[in-house]
Amino acid sequence: MSGETLHLTAAPADLRRAAELLRAGELVAIPTETVYGLAADALNGRAVRKIFEAKGRPMDNPLIVHIADIKDWAALVTHIPEKARALAAAYWPGPLTMILPHAPCIPDEVSAGLATVAVRFPSHPVAQSVIRLTGRPLAAPSANRSGIPSPTTAAHVLADMEGRIAAVVDGGPCAVGVESTVVDLSGETPRLLRPGGVTLEMLEAVAGPVDVDEAVTHALREGAAAASPGMKYKHYAPAAHVVLVKGSPAAYAAYVNRRGAAFPGRVTAMCFDGEESALTVPFVTYGRREDGTDQAHRLFDALRRLDELGAEEVYAACPPEDGVGLAVYNRMLRASGFEVVDADEPAG
Ligand code: TXA
Ligand code: MG
């Protein structure tokens, strides 16, 4: 569509308006605890098609279906295995998406022609209310233009989608800040396709051993098929050229300052809180070095701010890879197009 985008609040009358628009086959951006989603009636293929147009998203990238009552899951899939039930009991509602073979009601636009469907029960009260008021499951990818950082505020959504969607519901900033954990439960062993707020450690505590898809921490090999189609695209990328820098805080600062001296006015740092004082170049911060939860919460805003600053060359401090840090590391690998240097190496 092209026209005016309604700015709605979380007041009951506004949520009813959002639900009416969704039932009429329109697109409405809604807050979730992870990131803002661009929602459409998941059972209406024509409405879902508009999501791909508004985002500029390739049609072969399937969507997550959102529910607000665990009982609604059964109608969307062929069968719910025991491990999936256990994970739902432990972590739903919350930032966990589970993939299972889909029922016939799922339109091809949602599954991108795959035999499976991804389902999530978000914990955000506004997302839950809109789903319930609509009376349908909602398909929703992150509400950004394809390829750039996901939106964690209504302002981010409007920067990308004003005039392209019917409405946005402003529910304030998102608590988690990175997209949900995606786990494929259609095979013998659960497989982690995208790390998020429900960590690998949390999954294994409930479901036993979990395979980690190679694409979580590695670029897809030329010609290889993606378990999760979204992983083959460049993602989360600001306009700047981003390099991820491993190494101690001191080695990171020395590396960035050397680049800054070599290319005056061209270099921006993306560093952890408190580490900016050692830098001689402009910077954005994205949380404390040892706090993956804080980094996740601030990551996408920091990436968007790099664009606002007009950054050209960005050197980002690499997050630790444990806990929620794995989700931050995964997004930063994609933001940098897998360009990683080690500042502790002598040649750095
Ligand atoms: O937190 C989230 O998950 C947010 C909020 C709005 O819920 N949504 C989100 O959607 O991040 P999206 O479309 O940006 O990312 C969904 C990811 C993509 O990488 C997609 O390829 C993958 O999940 N996916 C969806 N359905 C799949 C399926 N049937 N098999 C494999 N991967 C699937
Ligand atoms: Mg996305």
Q: What is the pLDDT of residues 45-54, one digit of tens each?
A: 999 999 999 9
Q: What is the pLDDT of residues 186-224, one digit of tens each?
A: 999 999 999 999 999 999 999 999 999 999 999 877 667
Please tell me the number of the ligand nearest to residue 296's CA. 1
Cβ atoms 116, 102 nearer than 8 A: yes
What share of the chain has pLDDT > 90, as a percent?
91
H helix or E strand, kind and range, residue 39? strand 37-41
Q: Determine the distance separating the centroid of ligand 2 and the alpha carbon of 348, expressed in angstroms.
A: 33
CA distance 326 to 237: 18
* Position in ligand 1 atom list of the atom nearest CA 144: 14
Q: Whose CA is nearest to atom 13 of ligand 1?
A: 141
pLDDT band at 2, cuts 50/70/90? low
From 98, 152, 179, mutation site for ligand 1 pocket: most ligand atoms within 8 A of C-beta: 179
Q: Determine the distance separating the centroid of ligand 1 and the alpha carbon of 194, expressed in angstroms.
A: 9
Please tell me the number of the ligand nearest to residue 141's CA. 1
User: Which amino acids bring their CB within 6 angstroms of ligand 1?
Assistant: 32, 34-35, 37, 61-64, 95, 97, 99, 111, 114, 116-118, 120, 140-142, 179-180, 182, 193-194, 228-231
Given a cut of 60, whether residue 1 has pLDDT beyond it is no
Given a cut of 90, whether residue 159 has pLDDT beyond it is yes
Q: Alpha-carbon Rg of the chain, whole angstroms?
A: 20
Given a cut of 80, whether residue 346 has pLDDT beyond it is no
Please tell me the number of the ligand nearest to residue 34's CA. 1
pLDDT mean over 266-277: 98
What share of the chain has pLDDT > 70, as a percent?
97
pLDDT for 117: 98
Given a cut of 80, whether residue 233 has pLDDT beyond it is no
Given a cut of 90, whether residue 226 has pLDDT beyond it is no
Task: Decide: pTM greater than 0.85.
Answer: yes
**Which residue, 94, 88, 119, is CA-closest to 105?**
119
Mean pLDDT of the chain: 95
Q: What are phi and psi of 246, to 5 degrees?
A: -85, 160
Q: What is the pLDDT of residues 287-331, one digit of tens each?
A: 999 999 999 999 999 999 999 999 999 999 999 999 999 999 999
Q: Whose CA is nearest to atom 21 of ligand 1?
A: 230
Q: What is the pLDDT of residues 94-138, one digit of tens each?
A: 999 999 999 999 999 999 999 999 999 999 999 999 999 999 999
pLDDT for 347: 57
Q: Determine the distance separating the centroid of ligand 1 and the alpha carbon of 273, expressed in angstroms.
A: 30
* Position in ligand 1 atom list of the atom nearest CA 194: 19
Cβ atoms 203, 181 nearer than 8 A: yes
